[in-house]
Amino acid sequence: MKPIKPIVTLPGDDAGFESLVNRIVSLVSEAKSQVLRQIDDALVITNWHIGEYIVEFEQNGKARAVYGERLMRKLSKRLTLHLGKGYSLSNLHNMRRLYLYYPKFQTVSGKLSWSHWCELLEIDDSLERKFYENECLSQHWGVRALRRQINSGLFMRLAQSQDKNGVLALAEKGQVIRSPQDVVKDTFILEFLGIPEKNIYSESSLEKALIDNMQKFLLELGKGFAFIGEQYPIQIGSTHFHVDLVFYHAILKCYVLIDLKRAGVKHYDIGQMNMYLGYFANEVSQPDDNKPIGIVLCHSKNELVVEYATYGMDSNIFVSKYQLYLPNREELRRMVQSIIESET
């Protein structure tokens, strides 16, 4: 019988060696992240000062009205010649806006990248801009997420259900969630599904599209939502049911059930959701959970049918519409402006 050769342990197979590699990789990755953040901070500071110089030059009387645009074009060409990329006409305009909108640099958040600021500075309305700035910081939105939320008119959609004081608070503090009404929108924008408005599609294909784009759907739903599952099975007696989509809301500490409707909502759709809520409250929710929320998400709704169908029912049942295209932001802006002006 041949003697058994001892197993040679290479450094790469040793758990301690792997730990060493992981620690070094983590250290270097964090250092790179810090360097990138420092570069971003320096870029924002520098661009603010460039905006300051441009405005000071204008205010000295050397650039007026029509000549102002010619100045910016000339400046863009010269700076690009001397410094390279980063000094396009649109970028210079953003630098100028940054200084004009935030004349005290202390009010400029150092936690946002210049790319974030370029999106924010396209917003003329100070209340709307302040809202997105706050939400960017609290929700850690990337630039794409910020752009999408701006294009979907999130601030104005949330502001529609507020009075003047509510709109001002929304802009100053961002979205504060205290009740189910704070998380359920009247209209959810699902343009990211890429389904043409006039296309024929089924509820199951709509559900599949939402599942395939869950990250974007969670962004539209808002803060606090965690996806639990699709076609959640329910058995009541010998009868089986399935809830289309189930979420858990970490802030409100409750389940959120969504039932999808391809067309308009019917009275029995609301009754069915009420049954689902009863089941979850008694069979699924934990003792420290709050009452579940139900959302019937439909393409259209008759307000009178909804009012009568929900009469005397749990206030946690909501009927919301979905829209497959981005809203008209100017129309939304006029509606919000009318709210503010009506109480002045």
**111-135 residue pLDDT tens:** 899 999 999 999 999 999 999 999 9
- The distance of Cα 276 from the centroid of its chain, to the nearest Å, equals 28
What sign does the dihedral 147-152-153-159 (CA atoms) show? negative
In terms of residue numbers, what domain contains 273? Answer: 179-327
Together in a domain, 234 and 105: no
Give the integer Cα–Cα distance in Å for 187 and 286.
Answer: 30
Together in a domain, 190 and 317: yes
pLDDT > 90: what percent of the chain? Answer: 68
Together in a domain, 114 and 193: no
Identify whether 246 is part of a domain: yes
pLDDT at 222: 94
Together in a domain, 110 and 191: no
pLDDT at 134: 94
Give me the CATH number covering residue 245: 3.40.1350.10
Measured CA angle at 207 (ends 204, 212), to 5 deg: 125
Identify whether 266 is part of a domain: yes
Give the integer Cα–Cα distance in Å for 329 and 335.
Answer: 10
Identify whether 22 is part of a domain: no
**E strand or H helix at 114:** helix 114-120
pLDDT > 70: what percent of the chain? Answer: 94
Of the two residues 332 and 242, the one the predictor is more confident about is 242
Identify whether 111 is part of a domain: yes
**Residues 19-25, mean pLDDT to the nearest whole number:** 79
Together in a domain, 104 and 195: no
With tokens 């009178």, the residue in question is 304
Identify whether 293 is part of a domain: yes
Together in a domain, 97 and 188: no
Give the integer Cα–Cα distance in Å for 321 and 299.
Answer: 5
Together in a domain, 111 and 191: no
User: In this structure, what token pair is assigned to residue 248?
Assistant: 């858990």
Number of folded domains that form the chain: 2
What long-range pairs does 136-141 form, CB within 8 A, spacing at least 24?
136/112, 137/109, 137/111, 137/112, 138/174, 138/223, 139/223
Report, in angstroms and rounded to the nearest whole number, the Rg of the chain calculated over CA atoms: 27
Together in a domain, 105 and 224: no
pLDDT at 97 over 90: yes
**Residues 139-158, mean pLDDT to the nearest whole number:** 94
Contact status, residue 259 vs residue 320, Cβ threshold 8 Å: no
pLDDT digits (tens, 9 = 90+) for 189-212: 999 999 987 778 899 999 999 999
Domain finish residue from 88, 104, 122:
122
pLDDT at 210: 97
Question: Per this entry, what is the length of the chain?
Answer: 344
Identify whether 43 is part of a domain: yes
What long-range pairs does 298-304 form, CB within 8 A, spacing at least 24?
298/260, 298/261, 298/262, 298/263, 298/264, 298/265, 298/269, 298/322, 299/261, 299/262, 299/263, 299/264, 300/263, 300/264, 300/265, 301/264, 301/265, 302/264, 302/265
* pTM of the predicted model as reported, rounded to 2 decimal places: 0.81
Identify whether 146 is part of a domain: no
What is the number of other CB atoms lying within 10 angstroms of the CB of residue 19?
10
280: nearest Cα among 316, 325, 319:
316
Together in a domain, 85 and 185: no
Identify whether 147 is part of a domain: no
Together in a domain, 108 and 244: no
Together in a domain, 84 and 215: no
Domain finish residue from 90, 107, 122:
122
Of the two residues 38 and 122, the one the predictor is more confident about is 122
DSSP 8-state symbol, 237: T
Give the integer Cα–Cα distance in Å for 332 and 33.
Answer: 38
pLDDT at 304 over 80: yes
**E strand or H helix at 257:** strand 254-264
Together in a domain, 227 and 306: yes
What long-range pairs does 165-171 form, CB within 8 A, spacing at least 24?
167/127, 167/336, 167/339, 167/340, 168/127, 170/131, 171/126, 171/127, 171/128, 171/130, 171/131
